[in-house]
Amino acid sequence: MRYVVGYSANARGHDAVNLAVSLARGRGATLELVVAIPEVSPFSAAHAPKAGFETLLHEQARTWLDEALALVPADVPAEGHVRSGESDAQTLMDACEEFQADMLIIGATSNGLFKRFTIGSVAGALLHAATVPVALAPHGYHRREALTRISCGLGTRPGAGELLDYAVSMASNRDVPLRVVSLLTLDDGGLGPDGGESPDVAEAARSHAGNRVSAALPGGEAGSRFAAKTDVVVAQGRSIEEAVDRLDWEDGEVLVIGSSRLAKGRSIFLGATANRILRALPVPMIVVPGDYALKHQTHSTSNETSGEAPS
């Protein structure tokens, strides 16, 4: 497996490397650390060509890469690369294609409140166009040990089954528990008129999620063992943010969600609900493109949807 890590010489880059190490340790993945630099050309107004400028730019980028590689522990294989392009986002997407990456890992901007997520321009572009899962590290992310639990945000829209397949594969391949989460708000009927919880709606959501999970689990003895480590949780609140806040989150956990139905083809489009989840989420989020799991179950033997994934 290969994970591309978008590195910048600041706290955001360190957060991304820490999350990449945590993800890699659970799967034996190789990290491809990429520093994206501007493309120097006679038509670049921001970087007018000067004698030796391109050489100096590459030397500085290599220095940053050396700093990034020094952050990676010896047990995690990693290589560094300098790539240039018209934009940082496009450069990182091109790197994912070059290395046939299974995931792209980036950091949030450094001005997020409560050390959570604030999406900058590069992350925003990637979260609306990438064709591989994008893992986003919250500001101040320091964990480097392997993951301890996978949570999957499950809805009722088309693509939910493929997303759950991906989450099941990710958890089973890493031998960690899976938590399937349904978020209910006042708009969904998740609360009664008095603001209290609606048990009927919650039970319906729990039953729907439980049926989805049963269909997604592997068969045989392996499926039975994994089922014992799988939990279904319904979180209710007046808003998405409140529902997320009511959940317990482990330090070694990530939340996997699917991209919006507005995404084109197999790319990502981060919808309004996912953006609201991000504002309240205290752990990393992985956004999976539409049909990604289905496509790679058919064509890949190395990514998160291989191994024990259901077919």
Which two three-digit tokens encode residue 51?
């004698």
- Residue 110 CB burial class (10 angstroms; 0-12, 13-18, ≥19): middle
CB within 8 Å of 9: residues ≥ 6 apart: 35, 64, 67
Please give the DSSP secondary-structure letter assigned to residue 195: S
Ramachandran sector of residue 195 (left: φ over 0; alpha: ψ -120 to 50; beta: rest): left
What is the rounded CA–CA span in Å between residue 260 and residue 190?
Answer: 21
Q: How many CA atoms lie within 13 A of 148 on its CB side?
A: 9
| Global pTM value | 0.83
**pLDDT by 10s per residue, the chain, length 311:** 999 999 999 989 999 999 999 999 989 999 999 999 987 665 554 555 555 667 888 899 999 999 999 999 999 999 999 999 888 999 999 999 999 999 999 998 655 444 456 666 777 788 777 889 999 998 889 999 999 999 999 876 656 778 888 999 899 899 999 999 988 876 555 455 444 556 677 777 777 777 777 777 766 666 677 778 889 898 888 888 899 999 999 999 999 998 765 445 555 556 677 778 888 899 999 999 876 755 554 444 345 654 333 32
